[in-house]
């Protein structure tokens, strides 16, 4: 039987600061499910994504088009 190749996993170092941020998010948004996490991320990043959509392209790209 052929052995499957193991996929490389991106390992992140869990620092005390990251642990504190996660704990604050769990408390602030009362996260219990994956859907709760999605809702929290939408709330946190929603404004940022809207700004990115509205933000005009930098002038250097405008010069390339002309």
Which pTM was predicted? 0.51
- Give the whole-number percent of the chain exceeding pLDDT 70: 79
pLDDT score of 58: 64
pLDDT score of 50: 72
Contacts for 29 with CB less than 8 Å, ≥ 6 apart: 36, 39, 40, 43
Please determine, for residue 56, whether its predicted confidence score (pLDDT) is greater than 70.
Answer: no
- At 4-34, the pLDDT tens digits run 787 878 788 999 999 999 999 999 999 999 9
- 37: nearest Cα among 52, 25, 51: 25
pLDDT score of 15: 95
Q: Is 60 helix (H, G, I), strand (E, B) or coil?
A: helix
């Amino acid at each position: 039987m052929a052995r499957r190749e193991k996929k490389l996993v991106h390992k992140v170092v869990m620092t005390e600061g990251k642990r504190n941020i996660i704990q604050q998010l769990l408390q602030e948004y009362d996260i219990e499910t994956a859907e709760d996490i999605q809702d929290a991320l939408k709330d946190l990043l929603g404004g940022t994504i809207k700004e990115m959509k509205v933000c005009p392209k930098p002038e250097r790209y405008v010069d390339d088009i002309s």
